[in-house]
Chains A and B, each alone.
Chain A
Amino acid sequence: MSRLPAGGLIDRTTTLRFQFDGRAFTGHPGDTLASALLASGEKLFGRSFKYHRPRGVLAAGPEEPNALVGLRTGARREPNIPATLVELYEGLEAASQNRYPSLRFDLMAVNSLLSPFFPAGFYYKTFMWPASWWEKVYEPAIRRAAGLGRASGTEDPDHYTKENLFCDVLVIGSGPAGLAAAHAAGRRGARVVLCEADARLGGRLLSEASEIDGQPGAQWAEATEAALRDCPEVKILRRTTVFGAYDHGTYGALERVADHKPQPDDHEPRQRYWRIIAKRAVLAAGAIERLAVFGGNDRPGVMLSGAVRSYLNRYAVAPGKSAIVLTSGDDGWRTVADLVRHDIKVAAVVDRRTEIAATHEALAAQAGAQVFAGGRVVGTSGSTSLWGVDVVDAAGERRRVPADLLAVAGGWNPAVHLASHLGGRPVWDEARAAFLPGPPPPGMVVVGAAAGNFSTAACLADGTGAGAAAAEDAGFPGVAHAPPRSNDAAADNAKIWIIPGARQKAFVDLQHDVTDKDIALARREGFVRVEHMKRYTTHGMATDQGKSGGVTGMAVMAALTGQSMAETGTTMFRPPYTPVAIGALAGHHRGRDFRPFRLTPGHRWAEEQGAVWIETGPWLRAQWFPKPAETDWLQSVTREVEAVRNNVGVCDVSTLGKIEIVGPDAGKLLDVLYTSTFSTLPVGRTRYGVMLREDGFVFDDGTTARLAPDRWVMTTTTANAPRVLQHMEFVHQVLYPAWRVAFVSVTDRWAQFAIAGPKSRDVVAAVLDPGADVSDSAFPFMAAGTFTSLGGVETRLFRISFSGERAYEIGVPAAHGDALVRKIMQAGAPHRIVPYGLEALGVMRIEKGHPAGGELNGQTTARDLGMARMMSTKKDFVGRALAQRPALLDPQRPTLVGLRPFDRAARLRAGGHLLPLGAPAEISHDQGWITSVAFSPSLNHWMGLAMLANGTARHGERVRAYDPVRDGDVEVEVVPPCFIDPEGARLRG
């Protein structure tokens, strides 16, 4: 066992049981999966991405590239989770990844021997021949061999939620700088949100032996947390990672609400996506220790020096029995001191510097450690764990020093990510050997180690000052408080980058298995700029996004090119800082809840009638109403069409857009919206109109009725209702703001039903309250008027027809819609009224040649649709000028025609293309396409509408309707686009 006898921020009174790869382990609350496994003596955590090399734990935080596990089982299994971030809970189950058949014995490790064949860019160079093998052979084989974990493949059983949060000061990170900043701002009364990715506040204070105000750092953090709770407006979000900085003080954060439990409690979201809008932000994200590149630097037992301190001090785990520390600065010596303090043998200290301070020499002497001043680590030995380290001393002599832990202190990279998300490029600081944040986003200030101020004292001073200033900027002045005092002195930043002389693979990116040789190859092949090098080698592109090795890779390239770090620069930092589940971004908007259905007031009635539903935009509409004996949809639709053509039917048309327009200039507005003139329409009349876009193509169509001299009601297609309203608002507010007119969508306010068929007038008369006169003289075709029904309910009646039959649309306030349709059914019973759905509506409008979705597809002009005479020449309207472009007047443009199969038994299919008879099926012979088809019960054969080149002049001609996708090849006859009652006698009755 490697658990230290005392210390650590773990609760030793409670034991948690868990499983890793099916074996039983125990740990304590406060442990991570990584610390608990290390405490149990486990060193091997997984196999690497490309070469299947054995890997252990490198780090103690989100930068961990190696120890990735599949967490949980079944539908909750999640791949590629760093064991360093998994809080231990009772019953946890985790499995190692990318090993076959087992972690210890991995057949794919042979990849390591084949590595000459897997250099950077091998995807682009090999497996190129034969081309057909890529999908069948190469890709599946590569996918089996490479890669990390596997997704569960089943639906996520948990739910996620989203929330907005507004604050004066957002503090990101709760290390010494963040806590000081939050306290300084919070004690002034500012609304402060403090986000900490960890379960516990304190940041590096939890991992270091330093003291603040005379108490251990972790204790000070607890006291400060208590002080924050006493502040009036401070909100602490723990287990919350701020993953992105966006424009104007907007931040994205992910709270892992229930990831530290086996599963969320009832009704508890698993994670919460916070959108935080902050007047000011203090970025106190700390620093991330960086990888050093040397031979065998991936062997389990090689660990970042700061992570060693985390395991010792926070988790009370000895990550080894005999340690070697590799450093080039004073920070590595802190690790030596902590190892010594915890009675762990330090076999050697390899300091890249040739001069070692006397205090360090004394510490080494006390530990009995051999010191290699100016030495190098050139290799590691062992198999799935570390046995020894190959050291070359300053004189060039090589020896192997036995050890099972190599702590690497290669310096720290400030976590500049969030400061760079809006494009601010980090700036190299030679004195601090680090990229510091460039200009941060407006409203953000960067403090502490994230700004390159690595000592605790500097963090506290920085945070205190920035927190007070941020509060002041947000409107909370106050007295300045002195920052807390810390005992640690300013430390230098180590800089190792790469150690020459490696005889083993030396990794720059451990998660993607990128080596120094890959970077050298990228350079030889011309991928010198770091953005190119990154993409060619995939360095920094794994799930850890190069947190440990990213800047080191830049340094390796800088060394190769002889450029400075400043010249070499960094790649762009983009959100998210750590991976975010898509589910969290979606929140509750998934599956059926992605978008709510809109239901019409007649929905329940239609459901009772057995409606078969179809989604049209956000609406559910009845497609048809099958009777028990009917086995085929066409039977139902045919019956409904025949009922309308012979008797009467009722159809819910509430989904059509309805816009009410009032004001003295309403007529002027309609004139500029529609191609034809509306301002002359008498009160009590309805007119059909077509709207164009300003580019001359048809936008939408519908009817508008004049109910009073200054009151109009417009209908739009279901699909375009929101866009038409927006277009009208544009025309009014932007183009003609002086016009006195107002309008509003009333789609949801009115339930509307079409009553169509020869008997429709009798039904309407029986539905309206007694005394209404709907005789043809009083209420002729295209009349509009206001009546009452249902005993005094305001009722709008329009005599308009989509079916070609005598028809009315009758509307009442939505709350009365259900009662109205039931009344219609009752009134229509003597006439054998039937409900009809969208499909019958479609059949009848095709029989009449009315354009709809297939024809109003945004590529057709009014002229194309046979409505050229509706284009007024006496007034201006939207689209008028560009509709006259020569290309749009070309007689060869496809225009609307009707089609019927020459063999009347043949079926037509929408989407088929039209070719001259006998012409080969080639694009050069393409003359148009079929837009809509239906089986016409009235004609007893299939019919279609189509756009055909010069179609209007070709009535009577025969063409070929060719549909290779569905093996359709039918000879059709071109006819006018109206199959029934072209004179409109039925409409007028």
Chain B
Amino acid sequence: MRIPCPHCGERGNEEFFYLGAAGLQRPAADASADAWHDYVYQRDNPFGTHKELWQHVNGCRRWLVVTRDTRTHAIAAAEDAAGAPA
């Protein structure tokens, strides 16, 4: 796979570390046990578009949100997980 890093350009996937689903909201400290359980363990397994976290470990070391189609591996977008740099 080739991942278009927003900082480094298109790079081979061997430079990246895959984590899993992106966009999870870490619960508040006093949130319910269920909320924490879902945050840590519950994941969708979409057939199609998936927003996921990759880190460019052998590059800029930024965490990226990559939008990938799990059926075709087509990558629609790759953005810095922290949003636009301040």
Contacts and interface: CB of A to CB of B under 8 A. Distances in A.
A585 interface: no
A729 B81 CA distance: 11
A152 to B, nearest CB: 31
A737 interface: yes
B2 A248 contact: yes
Contacts of B61: 729
B68 to A, nearest CB: 10
Interface string B49-86: 00001010100011100000000111100001111000
B1 interface: yes
A881 B33 contact: yes
A729 B63 contact: yes
Given A726-B57, A729-B61, A876-B29, A881 B2 contact: no
Given A247-B73, A881-B27, A733 B82 contact: yes
B36 A881 contact: yes
Interface in B11-48: 12, 17, 19, 26-27, 29, 31, 33, 36-37, 39-41
Nearest to A744: B61
Contacts of B41: 695
Contacts of A880: 29
A730 interface: yes
A875 B30 CA distance: 10
B34 to A, nearest CB: 11
Interface string A550-577: 0000000000000000000000000000
Contacts of A277: 2, 12
Contacts of A733: 62-63, 80-82
Contact of B83 (A249, A275, A737, A885): A737
Nearest to A885: B33
Contacts of B80: 733
Contacts of A881: 27, 29, 31, 33, 36
Contact of B17 (A694, A726, A737, A876): A726
A647 interface: no
Nearest to B22: A734
B27 A247 contact: no
B27 to A, nearest CB: 7
A882 interface: yes
B37 A882 contact: yes
Contacts of A885: 33
Contacts of A275: 12
B55 A729 contact: yes
B12 to A, nearest CB: 7
B3 to A, nearest CB: 8
Which of the listed residues A164, A730, A884 has the most CB atoms from chain B within 10 Å of its own CB? A730
A882 B73 contact: no
Contacts of A695: 40-41
A737 B62 CA distance: 11
Interface in A840-885: 875-876, 880-882, 884-885
Contact of B12 (A250, A726, A735, A884): A250
Nearest to A695: B40
Contacts of A164: 12
A734 B73 contact: no
A442 interface: yes
Contacts of B27: 881
Nearest to B23: A734
A248 B63 contact: no
Interface in A87-145: none
Which of the listed residues A249, A694, A880 has the most CB atoms from chain B within 10 Å of its own CB? A694
A726 B17 CA distance: 10
A875 B29 CA distance: 8
B54 to A, nearest CB: 11
Q: What are the 3 closest A-B residue pairs judged by CB atoms, nearest first?
A: A737-B82, A248-B2, A876-B29
Interface of A: 164, 246-250, 275, 277, 422, 442, 694-695, 726, 729-730, 733-735, 737, 875-876, 880-882, 884-885
Interface of B: 1-2, 12, 17, 19, 26-27, 29, 31, 33, 36-37, 39-41, 53, 55, 57, 61-63, 72-75, 80-83
8 contacts: A247-B2, A248-B1, A248-B73, A248-B75, A277-B2, A277-B12, A726-B57, A875-B29
Given A694-B39, A733-B62, 15 more contacts: A247-B1, A247-B2, A247-B73, A249-B2, A277-B12, A694-B40, A695-B41, A726-B17, A729-B55, A729-B61, A729-B63, A730-B53, A733-B80, A733-B81, A880-B29
